[in-house]
Amino acid sequence: MKTVSALTTLSMALLLGACGGEADTTLERGPDPKLPEPQRGLLPSMKIAEPAEWGDKLPTVPDGFSITAIATDLKIPRQTLVLPNGDILVAEGRGGNAAKLKPKDVIASYIKAQGNTKVKGGNRLTLLRDADGDGTYETQTVFAENLNAPYGLAFHEGNLYVANQDAVVRFDYQDGQTQASGEPAKVTDLPKEINHHWTKAMTISPDGRYLYVGIGSNSNIGERGMEVEADRALVWQIDAESGMHKPYATGLRNPTALTIQPETGQLWAVVNERDELGPDLVPDYLTSVQEGKFYGWPYAYWGQNADTRVQPHKPEMVDITIKPDYALGSHVAALGVDFSIPEMGEQFANGVFVGEHGSWNRDNPVGYKVIFVPFADGRPAGEPIDFATGFRGEDGKTRGRPVGVTVDPKGALIIADDLSNTIWRVTRNQ
Amino acid sequence: MTVTTHPDYRYRPGPLHAMLLAGTVPLFLGALLSDIAYYNSFQIQWANFAAWLIAGGLLFAGLALLFALANLIGAQRKAGRPVVYLLLLLVTWVIGLINAFEHAKDAWAVMPAGLVLSAVVAVLAVITAWLGLSNLRSGGER
């Protein structure tokens, strides 16, 4: 922290160009966010999470709800999946090993690492079971190991799909299993070179025919060259049986979580947008993913706002960029999304939960919570509601960082927290 | 080093000081050439080269700065060319640092400010090294 503030102070002292001036910024959210002009001081604004233990503290949830830690001491839990019998699978790991190309990469990766767990990723799936239904998950056992930074999880009729950082694999699954019966079969390789954004988000179509996998860009804004961006920043549609695949939608910088809208079968995603354009650019977003459409990265953001940091620039790509549905706020780092169900109570019956890992590129930190975006007529409608907060305390310390969120059909929200290595479960009080 | 029969002696850079000082010239010049190549080709690797060359230039110039400072502190007459040399080296280093931050921006965001700063720093490095390496003549005048 001292290094960061010293650097920030230094940048202020040097005061070349537009520095600071971020005190009064607000978090623009919703379908039509006001976007300021891009700005970048001599140094990017950085405020890294200061990790602390939970101790007796708990995240804050709305009145009428309770939150408990149902699993602790995991090895970087990211995404979760509720199996038909109510067991919960947790994907644990940390991927990516992008080469550091500039002095900046060396320094920035060190600084950002201060805000993350020091635990080594598990590269495994952990199974949690609450056999008697009392809300205590008394069984915590390793379901499968030796995976490669597993992240996306999907299930359909006895097929358990896992998106590693380099491939989609499939396990045969029988109800009640606590351990995989063997090595998984590979469905298809995934783009894995560099893996600057390594998380491979995944969901499956309701009929089980297609897998959708989110493949993040290999850079913030093309600073590793555009050659390495082939097959990146897009969502693949993969035939689950054959592994054949095609780009389903493109220009999505880092689609970190995918889910299917139950009543329509429509694919939705949360996407993390680019950094270093100022505290209020560019909004991360929630969007329905339209087949064949281009969402802008790297040439444009939030519709047809050109980003000239990538050269040679392609105005024709700016022209075909479509606008996403709903801004979640710049730098919140949305990493989880799932549709709610009526069992979550009247206020939260219709909409999506979004897990926000929290910002680094902003003096006034944002995210670090789980929000609820209400829907009406199948579209986002209205202001987001805080659902689980307190991950970043008022004392400025960060105790947890939400990643995946999964709605349990029994009427609970499962939250993976990759800083305290905990799985949280939010339930309604009966 | 406290005997002062030849007051100009301490103004003259020693071999290590001279190497560090002279080294800033190809490093900052290399950064400028890399920036020109990036500007003309859009090939990102040139921007990476420039960033590292600037970092190297800063390291060399920073160490040379320490030598220059030590020499000046040890000198009897704290004026004239050695002071100008030290100040020029300091200015080169500071603008070099600003240039390093400029080069930490992503992709084309480096341009055009990075190119301009690289040119300024390269010229400053040449002048500073020239002055620093010809200090021998300064003290002899009195």
A3 pLDDT tier (thresholds 50, 70, 90): very low
Check pLDDT > 60 for residue A134.
Answer: yes
Is A331 touching B (CB cutoff 8 A)?
A: no
Is A11 touching B (CB cutoff 8 A)?
A: yes
Q: Where are the alpha helices (DSSP H) in A218-314?
A: none
Check pLDDT > 50 for residue B142.
Answer: no
Q: Which residues of A touch B116 (CB under 8 A)?
A: none
Closest Cβ opposite residue B55 in set A17, A103, A310: A103
What percent of chain A is predicted at pLDDT more than 90?
Answer: 89
Is A14 touching B (CB cutoff 8 A)?
A: yes
B135 pLDDT tier (thresholds 50, 70, 90): low
Q: Are A3 and A111 in contact (CB under 8 A)?
A: yes
- CA B84 vs. chain centroid, Å, equals 13
- Given an 8 Å threshold on Cβ–Cβ distance, is B48 in contact with A312? no
- Crossing angle of helices B44-74 and A103-113, in 10° steps, is 90
**Residue B15: predicted pLDDT:** 93
- The minimum CA-CA distance between A254 and chain B, rounded to whole Å, is 17
Q: A311: which 2 tokens?
A: 């050269």
Average pLDDT taken over every residue of chain A: 93
What percent of chain A is predicted at pLDDT more than 70?
Answer: 94
Q: Are B60 and B20 in contact (CB under 8 A)?
A: yes
Closest Cβ opposite residue B108 in set A14, A16, A309: A309
Instruction: Determine the residue of chain B that is closest to A10 in CA distance.
Output: B98
> Do the domain assignments include residue B141?
no
pTM, two decimals, is 0.91
> Do the domain assignments include residue B20?
yes
> Do the domain assignments include residue A396?
yes
As a whole number of Å, the CA-based R_g of chain A is 20
**Residue A8: predicted pLDDT:** 45
Q: Which residues of A touch B113 (CB under 8 A)?
A: 17
Q: Are A426 and A415 in contact (CB under 8 A)?
A: yes
Range of the domain at B94: 13-135
- Given an 8 Å threshold on Cβ–Cβ distance, is A43 in contact with B105? no
Instruction: Determine the residue of chain A that is closest to B94 in CA distance.
Output: A14
Which positions in chain B have a beta carbon within 8 angstroms of at least one beta carbon in chain A?
42-45, 47-48, 51-52, 55, 94, 97-98, 100-109, 111, 113
> Do the domain assignments include residue A32?
no
- The minimum CA-CA distance between B130 and chain A, rounded to whole Å, is 27
Average pLDDT over every residue of A133-162: 97
> Do the domain assignments include residue B4?
no
> Do the domain assignments include residue A8?
yes
Q: Which residues of B touch A17 (CB under 8 A)?
A: 113
Average pLDDT over every residue of A223-238: 97
> Do the domain assignments include residue B2?
no
**Residue A19: predicted pLDDT:** 38
Going by their DSSP bridges, the two strands A369-376 and A65-71 should be labelled as unpaired
Residue located via tokens 């019966």: A181
Mutate to test the interface with B, among A40, A220, A223, A224 (most CBs of B within 10 A): A223
**Residue B138: predicted pLDDT:** 45
**Residue A147: predicted pLDDT:** 98
- Residue A242 belongs to a domain with what CATH number? 2.120.10.30
Average pLDDT over every residue of A169-177: 97
> Do the domain assignments include residue B101?
yes
Mutate to test the interface with B, among A102, A107, A196, A274 (most CBs of B within 10 A): A102
Q: A324: which 2 tokens?
A: 């996403």
**Residue A299: predicted pLDDT:** 98
A297-308 pLDDT tens trace: 999 999 999 999
**Residue B74: predicted pLDDT:** 82
- How many A/B residue pairs have CB atoms within 8 Å? 62
> Do the domain assignments include residue B140?
no
As a whole number of Å, the CA-based R_g of chain B is 17
Average pLDDT over every residue of B18-40: 97
A36-66 pLDDT tens trace: 999 888 888 889 999 999 999 999 999 999 9
Query: Rounded to whole angstroms, how far apart are CA atoms A168 and A191?
Result: 11
**Residue A251 Rama label (left phi>0; alpha psi -120 to 50; beta):** left
Q: Are B57 and B20 in contact (CB under 8 A)?
A: no
A367-413 pLDDT tens trace: 999 999 999 999 999 999 999 999 999 999 999 999 999 999 999 99
What percent of chain B is predicted at pLDDT more than 70?
Answer: 87
- The minimum CA-CA distance between A101 and chain B, rounded to whole Å, is 6
**Residue B122: predicted pLDDT:** 98
Q: Are B121 and B93 in contact (CB under 8 A)?
A: no
Closest Cβ opposite residue A104 in set B43, B51, B113: B51
- Given an 8 Å threshold on Cβ–Cβ distance, is B106 in contact with A219? yes
- Given an 8 Å threshold on Cβ–Cβ distance, is B104 in contact with A102? yes
B58-77 pLDDT tens trace: 999 999 999 999 988 887 77
Query: Rounded to whole angstroms, how far apart are CA atoms A83 and A144?
Result: 15
Closest Cβ opposite residue A101 in set B43, B48, B101: B48
Q: Which residues of A touch B102 (CB under 8 A)?
A: 42
> Do the domain assignments include residue B97?
yes
B11 pLDDT tier (thresholds 50, 70, 90): low
> Do the domain assignments include residue A112?
yes
Query: Rounded to whole angstroms, how far apart are CA atoms A400 and A377?
Result: 34
Query: Rounded to whole angstroms, how far apart are CA atoms A133 and A113?
Result: 38
Q: Which residues of B touch A310 (CB under 8 A)?
A: 107-108
Least confident of A1-10, A187-196, A283-292, B11-20: A1-10
Range of the domain at A347: 2-13+39-428
A336-364 pLDDT tens trace: 999 999 999 999 999 999 999 999 989 99
- Given an 8 Å threshold on Cβ–Cβ distance, is B105 in contact with A40? yes
> Do the domain assignments include residue B35?
yes
**Residue A23: predicted pLDDT:** 40
B3 pLDDT tier (thresholds 50, 70, 90): very low
What percent of chain B is predicted at pLDDT more than 90?
Answer: 75
Helix/strand/coil for A404: strand
Q: What's the number of domains chain B is made of?
A: 1
Higher pLDDT, A48 or B136: A48
> Do the domain assignments include residue A30?
no
Instruction: Determine the residue of chain B that is closest to A8 in CA distance.
Output: B101
Check pLDDT > 80 for residue B10.
Answer: no
Query: ipTM of this model?
Result: 0.86
Average pLDDT over every residue of A118-138: 96
**Residue A22: predicted pLDDT:** 40
- Given an 8 Å threshold on Cβ–Cβ distance, is B107 in contact with A309? yes
Q: What's the number of domains chain A is made of?
A: 1
Omega prior to A409 cis, within 30 of 0: no
Mutate to test the interface with B, among A9, A224, A311, A313 (most CBs of B within 10 A): A311
- The minimum CA-CA distance between B43 and chain A, rounded to whole Å, is 7
A146: how many CB neighbours lie within 10 A of its CB?
8
Average pLDDT over every residue of B50-65: 98
